[in-house]
Structure 1
Amino acid sequence: MKSWLLIFMALVGFGAVAQKEKPKNYRKFDERLFHFGFMLGANSSGYSLSPKVDAYQQYGLKGMTVKSQPGAQLGILTTMKIGTPMVRLRFIPSLSFQERVINQVFVNPADLEKDILNEERINATSLDFPLMFQFRTLRLNNFAAYCLVGGQYSLDLQSQQDAAQQFDDPFIKMKKHDVLGQVGAGVEFFAPFFKFGIEIKYSHSFMNGFIQDNTRSSLPIDKIYNSGWIFSIIFEG
């Protein structure tokens, strides 16, 4: 994730410094009320996870970590100018593919020197509906920068919240519905007939998405919140 941030900061710096006075492309872009386009993105999804206070004493849990996994998404973009070209309302219904891995370390009652390792791999295929405010700078020739703030409703099409547990292979359940807050920033480059953008966003859930199902894997867990980074390339006309 740090490499993404470094690349993004380098692009912003290069775009701002390298611009010299030249003719503006797509001059009528800011005159239109609505614009449409599409988004291609990659994500790194994780969890903000909280174990129970007595997880070690009650369940022998020595440690628990979340490993973020790469994913992808595709969306259709609609933006609307709000009074001034510098403020826009943006809606990007998207299909996203995500994966997280929860690693748990339990005490082994048979051999205290050899811990029991448990890996829970959780996949999600979500319909996302983010609605965000975009605050843009004035154009510098064919370059502009912006920040984003808003929220998102997500529907996990792959959720197993209603699935029956398997006795010999239990799994961690997450809720199908979620509401998240999002913040982000990006840069835009104006071509003759379209606008090309690069952005990065961070999202974090407002809701505890964890379902306690009284299995060995889930009993030590108190709360789980969805979180993640999204890197997007946007074409808008």
Structure 2
Amino acid sequence: MSKKYFLVGFAILFAVKAYTQRERVENLPTFDDRKIHYGFYLGLNQNDFKLNLRNSSIQNANITVSPSTGFNVGLIADLRLHKNLNLRLEPGLMTNSKNIYFNHLTTERDSVREVSSTFLHVPVILKFSTDRYKNIRPYLLAGVSYNYNFTSNESNQEDNSQGQFRMKTHNFMYEVGIGIDIYLYFFKFSPSIRGIFAINNEIKYDNDPNSQWTAPVNYMGTRGVFLNLAFE
């Protein structure tokens, strides 16, 4: 799922190396002295579901997920705690879609559910940076996030028996990642790659406790890869 994101990441790192070999002037020399600064980000995401099945009345249950690439955009508020540590709030919108295949069912109407989601994604992140070297500064990211799923259909009275797959509206994640700050003449450019992992079970179970769609599911939680390009 994440191979292409890591290939893009390696391409960015090679570009950074070429840039630093060419560039000797230190740009934005006092940028990191600011107590608070702001920015925005654009990016791509690819979200999957981690699935754990359980024993149920459904024999030979087999469920798989096929993700697609989505888009994310948001704002950044950065608070400097220490010369190598920053606290960041990064609220934004995230869209993606997934197909869930219930391979133990025979008809196409029953065996496929398309889950298209739009989230309010609100991460609180700690950013651990190395000391600056010329115009670059690598960093690590770790934090937690809250997701509000606008398209969860949690309150919908219809369930999979009427063709409606439901998710929970309020969800929580943890995030880890790596990136690099690149100090340009007018602004700081910061590409990063991060993984996100759901903490809570996101599935909304069907009304029927023996539902062929949800009865076999013990846990369903988002896991994904983000490629973010931040401008600060």
Q: TM-score normalized by structure 2? A: 0.90
Q: How much has 1:234 moved relative to structure 2?
A: 0.5
Identity rate, percent: 23
Q: Residue 193 of structure 1 aligns with which residue?
A: 186
How do 1:1-20 residues align onto structure 2 when only pairs under 5 Å count? 1-16=2-17, 19-20=20-21
Could you say what secondary structure the match of 1:106 adopts? coil
Matching of residue 79 in structure 1 with residue 75 in structure 2: no
Runs of 4+ in 1 over 4 A off after TM superposition: 114-117
Distance 1:226 1:134 in 2: 23
Report the CA distance shift for 1:44/1:199 in structure 2 as closer, same or farther (over 3 A): same
The alpha-carbon deviation at position 155 of structure 1 amounts to: 0.7
1-structure distance, mates of 2:160, 2:217: 19
> 1:60 aligns to what?
59
Shift of residue 83, structure 1, vs aligned partner: 2.3
Distance 1:40 1:106 in 2: 39
Contact 1:91–1:129 at 8 Å: present in 2 too?
yes
1:228 counterpart residue number = 224
Aligned to 2:152: 159
- Letter of the structure 1 residue corresponding to residue 44 of structure 2: A
Aligned CA distance change for structure 1 residues 210 and 62 (closer, same or farther; 3 Å) = closer
Q: Which amino acid aligns with 2:54?
A: K
How many matched pairs? 227
Distance 2:102 2:120 in 1: 29
Q: What letter corresponds to residue 226 of structure 1 in structure 2? A: T
Query: 1:92 is matched by which residue type in structure 2?
Result: E
1:165–1:171 contact (8 Å) kept in structure 2: yes
Deviation at 1:115, TM superposition (A): 10
Residue 211 of structure 1 aligns to a residue in which SS? coil
Q: How does 1:45-56 map to 2 (within 5 A)?
A: 45-54=47-56
User: Who is 1:37 aligned against?
Assistant: 39
Task: Give 1 or 2 for the bigger CA radius of gyration.
Answer: 1
- CA RMSD of the aligned region, Å? 2.2
Is this contact kept in 1: 2:109–2:163, CA < 8 A? no
**What is the DSSP-based 3-state SS (H/G/I as helix, E as strand, rest coil) of the residue aligned with 2:189?**
strand
**Deviation of residue 100 (structure 1)?**
1.6
Report the equivalent of 1:148: 141
Q: Distance in 2 between matches of 1:232 and 1:115?
A: 36
CA distance in 2, matches of 1:164, 1:102: 20
* Structure 1 match to 2:100: 102
Q: CA deviation at 1:51?
A: 1.8
5+ residue gaps, structure 2, are none
Cα distance in structure 1, aligned partners of 2:38 and 2:160: 49
Q: Report Cα offsets for 1:173-226 as digits up to 9, x if no partner.
A: 211001100000111211122101111110011101112112332222221111
Structure richer in strand, relative to its length? 1
Structure 1 gaps, min length 5: 109-113
Alpha-carbon distance change, 162 to 117 in structure 1, aligned in 2, over 3 angstroms: closer
Alpha-carbon distance change, 152 to 231 in structure 1, aligned in 2, over 3 angstroms: same
TM-score (norm 1): 0.88
